């Protein structure tokens, strides 16, 4: 069939010169290491496409093979492609012409490996191997072992076999349309189409018994369309290939499918994933991508001098979500691991970033809120804790004040007790007389009762002073009353120190809301400090003055002024610091506790010096009504 091109004889002469080398090559060939001889140049791979460049099947497989080869060799490879056009020109003359053309074309660039895509390309290169690529390894893909065995492939021609088992495509259709009753199988009139129809008849022999089965063949494209438009709705349609119709019109199978599917009245399935987008619901196939990859893998191994053997490329189910929707078929009925194309992206897929951002934002917000709540709880707990500390401190302060005033209080208590004693003794003496004057006795008893009352009041004040608080006892009361009770507690001490105490009060109530005992403690602290400051003053100048009044209509102000040594200007603020003291036995806590109490009840306290000498301490508290 093939005439040897004239250049062949020249090659023999060259080889004869290097007889030994040829022998070595022959030995390597026999061992399957033919390509181990590639030295000093890039390896050459020829990819043979069976039809023209528009057939997606071989285009996809070829592209994938090229990509893999380029990648694996980092581009150091010479890749050639030929399109044999054997569907439109199946005649021997064309095959012969192509073989001669390629024999000459590749004379100086003999391929090391030939990749044949599909059955007809394989048959072509096996028949014309001597002329085109005498030393090359031939690897192929695109058909199954059955077809392979019919080709009588010589040893050393190795393939990536694939089973385009149409029964598996029917399996997918059956899963989606379990109630279908009719089965239509469409095939064209080209040789390849007829091969397909033959193998479908064999592969579907068993399964087709469950349906009213009709093979549509030897039809023109228009007749196919006409039949397709009248399929009963409960039909499964398998579209094999139409490379040519009965009129001899050539097609790319996917185009023919598109024409038929556009008018079809029932879902169509097919054995090629390149049919996706042309109107098929789905099918089962070896993808052309994986074919290209697999055959390139064989080629790479061959180039590396590794022994290669036939392999099997796995099949997968595929489906088109738009067609499922069109025919109302359920996605969940698809076999597991079906590659589903054109599925409408979920909200997550469509706006994943946005959704993730929103979730992150909400999570962050939740985190911040939790943090704030936690912080708030902590603050409350801390506030509670510090309030408890304050209560304890105030109590300590009260005890210290009571201790400091104890001598004068004891002295004060002595007066009524002493009076009671002398009155009792007087009454005793009167009663010893013969005619005791009962009126005087009655008068004495009344005095004893008064003195007892006075002593009781003193003890009551002392108990009030020492009263311990576990929680603030909020009350509304008149600040004037607290000023009075404080003066009562202090007056004995003041007397002892020769301090003249005076109080200027308004003629109306000064209502505040606070713990009465706490405010009394503030006043006692300020007053005892004032008396301390006047220790060195001459006795006639020792004056302690209380002045209570309304302040700004919403506040109550109490000032306690003295005629003592005053406060250095730069100490007016720091006198309130804890542990600041100028006294040898001082603790430096009185003023800091006073400030803490006043602030607890929403007020303010500050110190000043009086123009005429001495200090004045003022504090304001919110008026109870305003508060
Ligand atoms: P302590 O009385 O134990 O020293 P305080 O906190 O009550 O603690 O007072 C702190 C300091 O403030 C006093 O040591 C004193 O120097 C000064 N101070 C307080 N009140 C007056 C006052 N009325 N006149 C002058 N100095 C004062």
How large a percentage of the chain has pLDDT more than 70? 93
Number of domains present in the structure of the chain: 5
What Cα–Cα distance (Å) separates residue 565 from each residue in 456, 469, 535, 616? 37, 35, 9, 11
Q: What tokens were used for 415?
A: 């007066």
How much distance in Å is there from the Cα of 566 to the middle of ligand 1? 10
Compute how many other C-beta atoms are within 10 angstroms of the C-beta atom of residue 173: 25
The domain that holds 43 is classified in CATH as 3.40.50.2300
- Of these ranges, 257-261, 391-395, 454-458, 536-540, the one predicted with the greatest mean pLDDT is 257-261
One domain for residues 449 and 520: no
What Cα–Cα distance (Å) separates residue 461 from each residue in 458, 524, 598? 5, 13, 22
Q: Which of 396, 425, 460 is the last residue of a domain?
A: 396
Instruction: Give the DSSP H/E element, type plus range, for residue 174.
Output: helix 166-176
3-class DSSP state for residue 243?
A: coil
How large a percentage of the chain has pLDDT more than 90? 64
Atom 16 of ligand 1, residue of closest alpha carbon: 582
pLDDT on residue 35: 43
pLDDT on residue 336: 85
Confidence check: pLDDT of 314 > 90: no
Domain extent, residue 218, equals: 166-285+315-341
The answer to whether the CB of 609 is under 6 A from ligand 1 is no
Confidence of residue 37 (pLDDT cuts 50, 70, 90): low
- In sequence order, the β-bridge partners of residue 80 are 46
Q: Which residue from 398, 404, 405, 529 has its CB within 8 A of the most atoms of ligand 1, so it is best to mutate?
A: 529
Q: Are 305 and 319 in contact (CB under 8 A)?
A: no
The domain that holds 579 is classified in CATH as 3.30.565.10
pTM for this model (two decimals):
0.45
- Nearest 5°: CA angle at 81, between 80 and 85? 155
Q: Answer yes or no: is 465 within a domain.
A: yes
pLDDT in tens, 376-392: 888 888 877 777 888 88
For residue 591, which atom of ligand 1 is closest to its CA? 6
Q: Answer yes or no: is 292 within a domain.
A: no
Task: Using DSSP bridges, classify how beta strands 182-186 and 316-320 pair: parallel, antiparallel or unpaired.
Answer: unpaired
Confidence check: pLDDT of 23 > 60: no
Mean pLDDT across 466-487? 89
pLDDT in tens, 197-215: 998 999 999 999 999 999 9
The answer to whether the CB of 593 is under 6 A from ligand 1 is no
How much distance in Å is there from the Cα of 413 to the middle of ligand 1? 28
pLDDT on residue 8: 33
Max CA distance (Å), the chain: 179
Confidence of residue 5 (pLDDT cuts 50, 70, 90): very low
Confidence of residue 507 (pLDDT cuts 50, 70, 90): confident
One domain for residues 422 and 564: no
The answer to whether the CB of 28 is under 6 A from ligand 1 is no
Mean pLDDT across 312-337? 91
Confidence of residue 501 (pLDDT cuts 50, 70, 90): very high
- Nearest 5°: CA angle at 130, between 126 and 136? 75
The answer to whether the CB of 277 is under 6 A from ligand 1 is no
Mean pLDDT across 109-116? 96
Per this entry, what is the length of the chain?
627
Q: Answer yes or no: is 544 within a domain.
A: yes
Confidence check: pLDDT of 10 > 70: no
Q: Which of 161, 189, 219 is the last residue of a domain?
A: 161
Q: Answer yes or no: is 363 within a domain.
A: yes
Mean pLDDT across 77-82? 96
One domain for residues 529 and 429: no
One domain for residues 489 and 458: no
One domain for residues 416 and 500: no
Q: Answer yes or no: is 624 within a domain.
A: yes
One domain for residues 421 and 518: no
**Calculated CA dihedral for residues 559, 565, 567, 570, nearest 10 degrees:** 150
pLDDT on residue 164: 76
In the chain the first and final C-alpha atoms are separated, in Å, by 116
How much distance in Å is there from the Cα of 315 to the middle of ligand 1? 96
The answer to whether the CB of 292 is under 6 A from ligand 1 is no
pLDDT in tens, 553-610: 889 999 999 999 999 999 999 999 989 999 988 889 999 999 999 999 999 999 999 9
Task: Using DSSP bridges, classify how beta strands 604-609 and 615-622 pair: parallel, antiparallel or unpaired.
Answer: antiparallel
pLDDT in tens, 405-425: 888 888 888 889 999 999 999
pLDDT on residue 27: 38
pLDDT on residue 296: 96
Q: Give a three-class secondary structure readout of 127-147.
A: HCHHHHCCCCEEEEECCCHHH
The answer to whether the CB of 582 is under 6 A from ligand 1 is yes
Q: Answer yes or no: is 105 within a domain.
A: yes
Q: Give a three-class secondary structure readout of 12-79.
A: HHHHHHCHHHHHHHHHHHHCCCHHHHCCCCCCEEEEEECCCCCCHHHHHHHHHHHHHHHHHCCCCCEE
Mean pLDDT across 234-257? 95
State the burial class of residue 184 (Cβ atoms within 10 Å of its Cβ: 0-12, 13-18, 19+). Answer: buried
Task: Compute the mean pLDDT over every residue in the chain, rounded to the nearest whole number.
Answer: 88
One domain for residues 476 and 466: no
The answer to whether the CB of 529 is under 6 A from ligand 1 is yes
Q: Answer yes or no: is 1 within a domain.
A: no
One domain for residues 181 and 329: yes
What Cα–Cα distance (Å) separates residue 271 from each residue in 60, 162, 254, 530? 15, 12, 11, 107
pLDDT on residue 404: 83
pLDDT in tens, 117-134: 999 999 999 999 999 999
Q: Answer yes or no: is 290 within a domain.
A: no
pLDDT on residue 234: 94
């Amino acid at each position: 069939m093939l005439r040897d091109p004239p250049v062949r004889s020249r090659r023999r002469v060259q080889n004869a010169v290097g007889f030994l080398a040829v022998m070595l090559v022959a030995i390597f060939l026999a061992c399957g290491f033919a390509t181990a001889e590639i030295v000093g140049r890039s390896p050459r791979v020829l990819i043979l496409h069976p039809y023209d460049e528009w057939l997606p099947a071989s285009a996809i497989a070829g592209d994938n093979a090229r990509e893999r080869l380029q990648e694996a060799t980092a581009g150091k490879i010479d890749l050639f492609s030929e399109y044999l056009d054997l569907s439109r020109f199946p005649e021997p003359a064309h095959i012969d012409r192509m073989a001669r053309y390629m024999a000459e074309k590749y004379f100086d660039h003999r391929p090391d490996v030939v990749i044949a895509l599909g059955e007809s390309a394989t048959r072509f290169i096996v028949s014309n191997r001597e002329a085109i690529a005498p030393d090359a390894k031939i690897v192929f893909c695109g058909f199954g072992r059955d077809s392979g065995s019919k080709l009588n492939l010589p040893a050393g021609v190795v393939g990536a076999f694939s089973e385009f088992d149409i029964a598996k495509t029917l399996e997918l259709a059956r899963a989606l349309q379990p109630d279908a009753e009719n089965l239509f199988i469409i095939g064209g009139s080209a040789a390849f189409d007829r091969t397909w129809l033959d193998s479908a008849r064999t592969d579907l022999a068993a399964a087709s018994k469950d349906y009213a089965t009709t093979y549509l063949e030897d039809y023109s494209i228009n007749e196919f369309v006409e039949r397709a438009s009248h399929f009963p709705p409960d039909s499964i349609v398998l579209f094999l290939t139409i490379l040519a119709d009965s009129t001899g019109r050539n097609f790319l199978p996917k185009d023919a499918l598109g024409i038929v599917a556009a008018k079809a009245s029932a879902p169509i399935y097919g054995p090629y994933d390149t049919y996706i987008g042309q109107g098929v619901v789905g099918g089962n196939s070896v993808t052309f991508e994986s074919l290209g990859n697999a055959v390139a893998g064989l080629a790479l191994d061959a180039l590396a001098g590794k022994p290669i053997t036939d392999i099997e490329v796995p099949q997968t189910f595929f489906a088109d979500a738009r067609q499922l929707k069109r025919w109302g078929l359920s996605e969940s009925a698809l076999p597991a691991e079906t590659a589903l194309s054109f599925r409408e992206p979920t909200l997550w897929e469509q706006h994943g970033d946005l959704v993730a951002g929103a979730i992150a934002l909400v999570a962050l917000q939740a985190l911040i809120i939790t943090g704030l709540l936690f912080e708030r709880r902590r603050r409350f707990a801390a506030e509670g804790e510090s309030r408890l500390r304050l209560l304890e401190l105030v109590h300590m302060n009260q005890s210290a004040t009571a201790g400091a005033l104890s001598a004068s209080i004891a002295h004060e208590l002595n007066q009524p007790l002493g009076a009671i004693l002398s009155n009792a003794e007087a009454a005793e003496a009167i009663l010893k007389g013969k005619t005791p004057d009962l009126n005087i006795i009655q008068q004495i008893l009344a005095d004893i009762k008064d003195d007892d009352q006075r002593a009781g009041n003193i003890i009551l004040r002392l108990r009030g002073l020492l009263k311990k608080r576990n929680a603030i006892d909020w009350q509304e009361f008149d600040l004037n009353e607290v000023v009075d009770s404080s003066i009562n507690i202090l007056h004995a001490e003041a007397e002892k120190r020769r301090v003249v105490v005076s109080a200027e009060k308004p003629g109306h109530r000064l209502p505040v809301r606070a713990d009465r005992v706490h405010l009394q403690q503030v006043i006692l602290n300020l007053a005892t400090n004032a008396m301390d400051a006047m220790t060195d003053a001459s006795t006639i100048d020792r004056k302690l003055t209380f002045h209570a009044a309304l302040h700004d209509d919403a506040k109550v102000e109490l000032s306690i002024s003295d005629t003592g040594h005053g406060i250095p200007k730069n100490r007016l603020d720091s006198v309130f610091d804890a542990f600041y003291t100028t006294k040898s036995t001082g603790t430096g806590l009185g003023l800091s506790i006073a400030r803490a109490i006043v602030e607890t009840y929403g007020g303010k306290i500050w110190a000043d010096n009086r123009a005429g000498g001495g200090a004045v301490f003022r504090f304001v508290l919110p008026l109870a009504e305003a508060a």
